[in-house]
Amino acid sequence: MMSQISNALSDFFFEYETPRQVLVRNRRVGVVCRLIQLGVLAYIIGWVFIYEKGYQSTDTAVSSVFTKMKGVGYTNIEGRERVWDVADYVFPPQGDSSFVVMTNYIITEGQKMGKCPELQGKHNCSSHADCEGGSFKRTGHGQMTGVCLNATKTCEVLAWCPVEDDVKIPDPPMLMSAVNYTLFIKNSVTFPLFGVSRSNLVENIDNAYISKCLYDPTDAPLCPIFRLGDIVKLSGFKFETIARVGGAIGIVVDWTCNLDVDVKHCIPKYTFHGLYGNAAETDQARASVGYNFRYAKHYLEDKEQKRTLLKVFGIRFDIIVQSLARKFDIIPTLTAIGSGVGIFGVATVVCDLVLLYLLPKREFYKNMKFKYTDSHVQPDSESLGIETSTYYTFEANARQVQGTGQSNDPDSEACSTETEVCKK
């Protein structure tokens, strides 16, 4: 018992087994196999390593954005001059990464709580029965009192009076001067995995440059100050349209960095996209065009609460930071190499298929490759089946080929004297 165990142990430790391989001298199989291996090699080097950069690990950034608008608008309505500054036209005012710049508005001043007629059009009535008291209409401005007013032929409502009339959107937009406003973007990103922090005010951007530069895709691609007209144009829209009814534009700050090179090459790239609607589409074709919201300023006058209502049409800007940093890392490198080596196995499988199932001499090669056992008869050399004898013939042939480097035609009767089977 002990000796059996020690034999097994010594077998385990002092022996090494390695698979025996069959060398096939066949041009077709050889070429197919090498071509597949070449393809796999090209895939690993060209695609995995060079194109997909499989030797690097990646990380996305945590980022923060701060914005600031500059510019002044001017309106003159029936002799009433007014200037609109940043505090008047930016919503919300904190400098968020998502904000609205007002370009057009409908103002309703001096509203107070009371009873007044609804707008003409959607809310017409012919008798008191059309204006059920205490109920609301979905598109109405207030609670109906149950009275159909004769003068206007509309229902009377309890609401902020007078009700807003937003049927006609001012055209041209009230604040066309918005085309010359500028937007300043401050953005910082940190790649936590690599411990790298960057800001869009990169190395050669200093105060002197910022004070006079204006973003241009070719001349000043790193200037963080953007003219609104340029942003709208680069997103593919017309400023006149978007300023009249409003719209949404995404400013994408793209940080795609290769940290294997100097970090100063890690710079932002700005692109501009219309966020809904298609610049080419005609406005009439769409159901809900533009972007607007209502905003009210409340005040007390003669101890009575009043408000000024603004329906604001504007351009909504969303600043979207996109980031991907890459840096050499040993683990993805080894993973890529390992999977590449694994794919080499495909070549073996395909060539085996060709060899064993497609070639005219496939039966012969099959016999060479596999060693058959006979389950009924003792496999001694006298009772070997026909396949096994072919096998030996081939083995003999192969040995002869190895030994002499001559005849490699497996069909030739080449029983050299060296082989045991032929001796028999």
Ligand X SMILES: *[C@@H]1O[C@H](CO)[C@@H](O)[C@H](O)[C@H]1NC(C)=O
Burial call 355-374: b when 16+ CB within 10 Å, e when fewer:
beeebeeeeebbbbeeeeee
**Residues at the interface with ligand X (CB under 6 A):** 176-177, 179-180
Least distance CB 212 / ligand X (angstroms): 14
Cβ nearer to ligand X, comparing 179 with 351: 179
Buried residues in 153-167 as b, exposed as e (16+ CB within 10 A):
ebbbbebbbbbbeee
Whole-angstrom distance, CA of residue 313 vs CA of residue 289:
11
For every residue of 190-243, DSSP letters joined together read EETTTTEEEESS-TT--HHHHHH---BTTTBTT--EEEHHHHHHHTT--HHHHH
Minimum separation from the CB atom of position 103 to ligand X (A): 11
Phi/psi zone of residue 100: left (φ > 0), alpha (ψ -120 to 50 degrees), beta?
Answer: beta
Q: Give the CA angle between residues 125, 130, 134 to the nearest 5°.
A: 120
* The pairing of beta strand 62-70 with beta strand 182-191: antiparallel
Cβ at position 180, least distance to ligand X in Å: 4
Distances (CA, A) of 362 to 26, 125, 297: 12, 92, 90
Residue nearest to ligand X (CB): 180
Q: Would you say 179 or 259 has its CB closer to ligand X?
A: 179
**Checking DSSP bridges between strand 154-161 and strand 73-77, what pairing results, if any?**
unpaired
274 vs 297: CA distance, rounded Å: 31
∠ CA 383-388-389 to the nearest 5 degrees? 80
164 φ, ψ (degrees, to nearest 5): -70, 135
Asked if residue 180 belongs to a known ligand binding site, the reply is no
**Dist CA 401 CA 412 (whole Å):** 12
Least Å from the CB of residue 179 to ligand X? 5
Q: How far apart are CA 76 and CA 378, in angstroms?
A: 112
180 or 412, CB closer to ligand X? 180
Rounded CA separation 247/238 (Å): 11
Is 168 known as a binding-site position? no
53 marked as part of a ligand binding site: no
CB of 177 to ligand X, least distance (A): 4
Our CB check for ligand X shows the closer of 149 and 179 to be: 179
Residue 371: C-alpha distances to residues 22, 389, 397, 420 (Å): 12, 11, 16, 17
Q: Is 70 annotated as a binding residue?
A: yes
Distances (CA, A) of 132 to 125, 127, 140, 148: 11, 10, 13, 9
Between residues 181 and 191, which has the closer beta carbon with respect to ligand X? 181
Provide, rounded to whole angstroms, the least separation between the CB of residue 227 and ligand X. Answer: 9
8 Å CB contact between 185 and 65: yes
Between 163 and 176, name the residue whose CB sits nearer to ligand X: 176
Neighbours of 84 (CB within 10 A): 18
For residue 60, say whether it is annotated as part of any ligand binding site: no
The answer on whether 417 is annotated among ligand-binding residues is no
Nearer to ligand X, 132 or 216 (CB): 216
Among residues 244 and 327, whose Cβ is nearest to ligand X? Answer: 244
182 known member of a binding site: yes
Taking the complex as a whole, how short is the minimal distance between the CB of residue 184 and ligand X, in angstroms? 18
Question: In terms of CB distance, is 140 or 173 closer to ligand X?
Answer: 173
What's the closest the beta carbon of residue 178 comes to ligand X, in angstroms? 8
Q: Encoding tokens for residue 370?
A: 């596999």
> Least separation, in Å, of the C-beta of 182 and ligand X?
11
Does 49 count as an annotated binding residue?
no
Binding positions for ATP are 68-70, 182, 292-294, 311
Binding positions are 68-70, 182, 292-294, 311
